[in-house]
């Protein structure tokens, strides 16, 4: 076991836009907060290029009623920071830090050319900003986006990965960014990932409950990374953080959309109680090929342990390609 310094345990997670913290890892971060770990969210952009995804807000009496598209954009820019603050409160983040860039929009769209957008930011400058935050917050564990984003190659998501890896490596090196504070070396870096095993489990649970699922062949057969998953956190007790934080982003999430809410918290916990992670970098060792971590702080300090009678989760293998008939009643 690594002899941890006196600095309190901290996990820092890096996201591209407001609402990403809700859809990726909210139950895990809520669980660690409840276990006494300091939790920090870095949000790289303000989500200015997001569209209104909840049509009910255009109804009479709603905050977007009668607005032109340009007026909607301006209203979104005002509302999204408020939604982020509410989401962070539900998850339990101890600190929310904006990296300070503008949303780049989708690939090859006009906003990509905006000099203030994250996509156009100097890599060295953006890494320096993140290093400054890491040195100030002193996390042992960093969570970021992975190196395989074929499923959703948004420019800002790609950039999150591109700055996170060098920031992890440079934060502890006093030769880099001497203006950015006293060096601090994080010990572990994880990539967020959605396993196909989870996707299929949720799909089948929706078929059983609703007789239909929003996941078509394209989604069910997206590139899988199940074999890469090293760490599986049991978050059955904290599914409320996902649903609650998603609903906090009312402009971005339709509360009637089965994509997000086809299963309630208990049903989702029953169908797939885990959040899955890939250990990408570690100064404290890595699990053997047949072993699954159940704690992001494994090798640093034990924070999560198996409950009496609870069995350890298994390593995953990527499911075979499937069609929409998966899980349909015979």
Answer yes or no: is 203 within a domain.
no
Give the strands of the sheet with 38-45, arranged side by side: 95-101, 38-45, 10-15, 141-145, 188-192, 274-282, 231-234
Sign of CA dihedral 14, 15, 20, 23: negative
Q: What angle do CA 91, 94, 279 make, to 5 degrees?
A: 70
pLDDT for res 5: 52
Distance CA 91, CA 31 (A): 9
What's the number of domains the chain is made of? 1
Distance CA 315, CA 277 (A): 11
Answer yes or no: is 327 within a domain.
no
β-pairing verdict for 188-192 and 274-282:
antiparallel
Distance CA 156, CA 109 (A): 12
For residue 37, give the CATH number of its domain.
3.40.50.10320
Backbone angles phi, psi at 257, to 5 degrees: -85, 120
User: According to the per-residue pLDDT averaged within each range, which of 132-136, 153-157, 218-222 is highest?
Assistant: 132-136
Distance CA 118, CA 15 (A): 12
pLDDT for res 323: 62
Nearest-CA neighbor of 193 among 139, 240, 232? 232
Q: How far is CA 220 from CA 100, 215, 321, 322, in A?
A: 35, 6, 8, 7
pTM of the prediction?
0.93
Tens-digit pLDDT profile for residues 30-82 = 999 999 999 999 999 999 999 999 999 999 999 999 999 999 999 999 999 99
pLDDT over 90 percentage in the chain: 83
Answer yes or no: is 287 within a domain.
no
Q: Residue 280 above 80 pLDDT?
A: yes
pLDDT range class, residue 318, cuts 50, 70, 90: confident
Tens-digit pLDDT profile for residues 3-13 = 445 689 999 99
pLDDT for res 327: 40
Distance CA 266, CA 238 (A): 10
Answer yes or no: is 119 within a domain.
yes
Q: How far is CA 52 from CA 48, 67, 79, 151, 191, in A?
A: 11, 11, 11, 22, 28
Distance CA 70, CA 245 (A): 27
pLDDT range class, residue 326, cuts 50, 70, 90: very low
Tens-digit pLDDT profile for residues 177-187 = 999 999 999 99
Answer yes or no: is 263 within a domain.
yes
Beta strands in the chain (DSSP E): 10-15, 38-45, 95-101, 141-145, 188-192, 231-234, 274-282
Answer yes or no: is 289 within a domain.
no
Q: How far is CA 262 from CA 214, 275, 280, 296, in A?
A: 9, 18, 32, 29
Q: Residue 328 above 90 pLDDT?
A: no
Encoded tokens for 164: 């996170």
Contact (CB, 8 A) for 106 and 154: yes
Per residue in 216-236, is it b (16+ CB within 10 Å) or e — as a string?
Answer: eeebbbeebbbebbbbbbbbe
Answer yes or no: is 294 within a domain.
no
Structural domain boundaries enclosing 71: 10-197+226-282
Contact (CB, 8 A) for 184 and 134: yes
């Amino acid at each position: 076991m690594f002899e941890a310094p006196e600095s309190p345990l901290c996990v820092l997670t890096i996201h591209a836009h407001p609402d990403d913290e809700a859809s990726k890892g909210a139950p895990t971060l809520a669980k660690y907060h409840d276990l006494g770990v300091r939790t920090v969210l870095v949000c790289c952009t303000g989500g200015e290029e997001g569209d209104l995804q909840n049509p009910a807000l255009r109804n009479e009496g709603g905050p977007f009623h009668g607005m032109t598209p340009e007026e909607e954009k301006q209203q979104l820019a005002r509302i999204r920071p408020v939604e982020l603050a509410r989401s962070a409160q539900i998850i339990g983040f101890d600190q929310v830090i904006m990296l300070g860039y503008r949303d780049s929009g989708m690939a090859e769209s006009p906003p990509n050319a905006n000099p203030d957008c994250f996509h156009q930011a100097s890599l060295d400058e953006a890494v320096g900003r993140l290093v400054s935050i890491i040195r100030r917050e002193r996390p042992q564990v960093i969570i970021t986006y992975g190196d395989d984003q074929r499923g959703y190659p948004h420019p800002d998501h790609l950039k999150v990965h591109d700055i996170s890896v060098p920031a992890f490596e440079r934060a502890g090196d006093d030769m880099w960014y001497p203006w950015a504070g006293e060096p601090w070396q994080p010990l572990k870096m994880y990539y967020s990932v959605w396993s196909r095993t989870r996707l299929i489990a949720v799909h089948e649970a929706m078929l059983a409950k609703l007789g239909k699922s929003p996941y078509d062949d394209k989604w069910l057969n997206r590139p899988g990374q199940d074999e890469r998953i090293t760490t599986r956190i049991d978050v059955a007790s904290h599914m409320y953080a996902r649903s609650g934080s998603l609903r906090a982003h009312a402009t971005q999430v339709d509360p009637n959309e089965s994509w997000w809410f086809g299963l309630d918290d208990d049903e989702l916990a029953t169908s797939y109680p885990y959040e899955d992670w890939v250990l990408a970098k570690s100064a404290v060792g890595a699990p053997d090929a047949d072993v699954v971590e159940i704690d992001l702080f494994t090798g640093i300090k034990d924070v999560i342990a198996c409950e009496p009678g609870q069995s350890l989760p298994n390593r995953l293998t990527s499911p075979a390609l499937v069609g929409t008939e998966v899980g349909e009643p015979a």
